[in-house]
Amino acid sequence: MPPRKPYQRDELERLAAQIVDGNVDNGAFFSLTTHNAMVWIMALGHISDIDPRMDQAVTPKKQREIAIENLRLGLWDVQRFDYLFPNIPYSKTPNFNLARLESHKDVEQMQSYIVSHFNPLAFTQPEMMDGLPMHPPKGFFGNWIGVKAIMCRATLDITAEGGRETPFVLYYEKMEKEEKTLIMEILDVKRVPWPEPGPKLLEQLLEAQTVKFGARSGAPLVPMMQTPKIPLVALRYSYIESHPEGGAQFLLHLESRLRELLPSDSSDDDVRAELEKHLGASEEMPREHIRMFSRLLSHNADLVDKEWANDQQSHWNISTETKEETRISFFVPCLRPRFDVVEGIETGKQVIPHAQCENCKKDAKAMCRSCRAVSYCTPACAKAQWPTHKLVCKIFTKILSDLSSLPKDTLYLPARAYLIWVSEFGVASLQESVKMGGPPVYEPPRNQYGGEHFICRALIANEGKGGWDPEKGKVVCYDQGTGTACLYDRRRSVIVRFGPQEAAKIRAASPKTEMPFHEAGYRQFAEVVKERGAKGVLFIWVRRVGDCIVVDLKDIPNQQGIRWK
């Protein structure tokens, strides 16, 4: 059978009329209901409750304002805009000039950044193990998984065919009476310049790159490994519903774009054949996924500097009708929100970088460099407070030398991690640890709670039921002091792993590092978890004392009202 002749222009216009609607809202982020906004926030991950101000709002309109504000904050954070634009803090009306980001010229590197590394990190390890990226469940959580999957597919299309430029990607949802289509014209792929790491960090990153990703020894550092700063895809898009008269000018604009990319001697038939090839490569997606992604693009379009967006709309001499049909936006490979932002969404309170001065109670400006547990407004206040503070600044040394001096019904833990560790991944790469907000290894993290007590989630291995000891040939219960436990707060500002067997692991990881172990406190902790916990999990009150976390083993909070993981 001879090849079919490409469409003529009148046939192409008819095709456009069947596919698209020029009178569209392009995602209509503003049309989200309060309920949908709240459910979407929860779908971002790890969020249980929404801002107590919702219950205090006197009108449905005010409730919606709070929900939409929190959703915008969540979408801001999940895309890491404070990394991409470090000098522009979150606000209700940000203005991002994407022109300040350099264009990504090296296609091979771009493929490494976007496809090989960032897309898998868009999903948690349990999501990957359950195959959710390929088969998202129904509901808002599944829709959000689907949005991230669309981004993965789009970046694969962008970097396909050996780096051949892909002018646009298209996704559609087909129903009997109508069709919803999302067309994205790729304008540019931006990136943030990668800063040079210090010698120690460089050594850690190269080792992680070799072990985690299988790079050959001595291979150059993949910049992705240093920092969560990520590529950004700038685009012109149109979200289209139904079958109106006249079709869309956007498809005709894309035809002219293809004409610019093809050899100068290409005929009209060649151009139309190329357009048909791209249209034929469009992918069918669930309607809910396309709708949510279009709303994300609508949200991002609100962030773009209006002058830059107008300049992009004026480029290529596109028609007034095409401008009306399209918006300038962008997307980045999705990541999960950091936990300090998650807690802010749930409580309505934001993390304060420094609390009150420990000495004079004024606003503090710096922390103790040794324990990072207390803050001071001036060096003079730090000096005046030192006679008192020095008694607890290095309290972990007391655990090593004088266990009998520690009070009963408490557990003392060094407030530092000796492994790159986050709860969703177990032992994780440095990149995942930084991205999830984990504290630095071997260094006490910054105290974010001042002198107040706060809740941590404690987990003990195998639900506290014990484990098989091959040397003893029997199951050994953890109240006998053989289990590994971990503890972390809602913000993941403290992540501690501890247990009788951990000392050897610490020495193996860092021969010069000595981490103390409060054995009596641990044994009582294991008993409390078995008695009061559920499946080896217990929420407990803790407070920061110097470079240690002090766990209260008597005052156990009500477990019923705490749901975060």
Residue 389 belongs to a domain: no
Of 228, 253, 287, the domain-final residue: 228
Q: Contact, 121 vs 431, CB < 8 A?
A: yes
What pLDDT score does 544 carry?
92
Whether 421 and 539 share a structural domain = yes
| Mean pLDDT in residue range 553-557 | 93
Whether 376 and 292 share a structural domain = no
Rounded CA-CA distance 326/328 in Å is 7
Residue 2 belongs to a domain: no
Whether 370 and 407 share a structural domain = no
Residue 39 belongs to a domain: yes
Indicate the number of domains in the chain: 4
Rounded CA-CA distance 347/359 in Å is 29
Q: pLDDT tens-digit profile of 508-537?
A: 766 666 777 888 888 889 889 888 888 888
**Is pLDDT at 162 greater than 70 in this prediction?**
no
Higher pLDDT, 460 or 465: 460
The token pair at 398 is: 């007391």
Whether 262 and 216 share a structural domain = no
Residue 157's pLDDT band (cuts 50, 70, 90): confident
| Mean pLDDT in residue range 444-459 | 87
- CA distances to 76, 183, 218 from 94, rounded to whole Å, are 10, 25, 42
Q: pLDDT tens-digit profile of 405-425?
A: 778 889 998 887 665 544 444
Residue 1 belongs to a domain: no
Whether 278 and 410 share a structural domain = no
Q: Which domain holds residue 205?
A: 193-228
Residue 346 belongs to a domain: no
Whether 219 and 248 share a structural domain = no
The token pair at 119 is: 């897309």
Whether 75 and 222 share a structural domain = no
Q: What percent of the chain has pLDDT over 70?
A: 70
DSSP 565: -
Alpha helices in 214-244 (DSSP H): none
Whether 72 and 102 share a structural domain = yes
Residue 519 belongs to a domain: yes
Whether 234 and 365 share a structural domain = no
Mean pLDDT of the chain: 76
Of 173, 207, 228, the domain-final residue: 228
**What pTM did the predictor assign?**
0.77
**Is pLDDT at 475 greater than 70 in this prediction?**
no
Whether 265 and 170 share a structural domain = yes
Residue 348 belongs to a domain: no
Which H or E element spans position 538?
Answer: strand 537-545
Residue 100's pLDDT band (cuts 50, 70, 90): confident
Whether 210 and 280 share a structural domain = no
Residue 3 belongs to a domain: no
| Mean pLDDT in residue range 347-371 | 82
* Rounded to 5°, angle at Cα 338 from 335 and 189: 35
CA 178 from chain centre, in angstroms, equals 35
Whether 405 and 324 share a structural domain = no
Q: pLDDT tens-digit profile of 313-345?
A: 887 678 888 888 889 999 987 777 778 888 888
Least confident residue range of 64-68, 90-94, 255-259: 90-94
Q: Contact, 195 vs 227, CB < 8 A?
A: yes
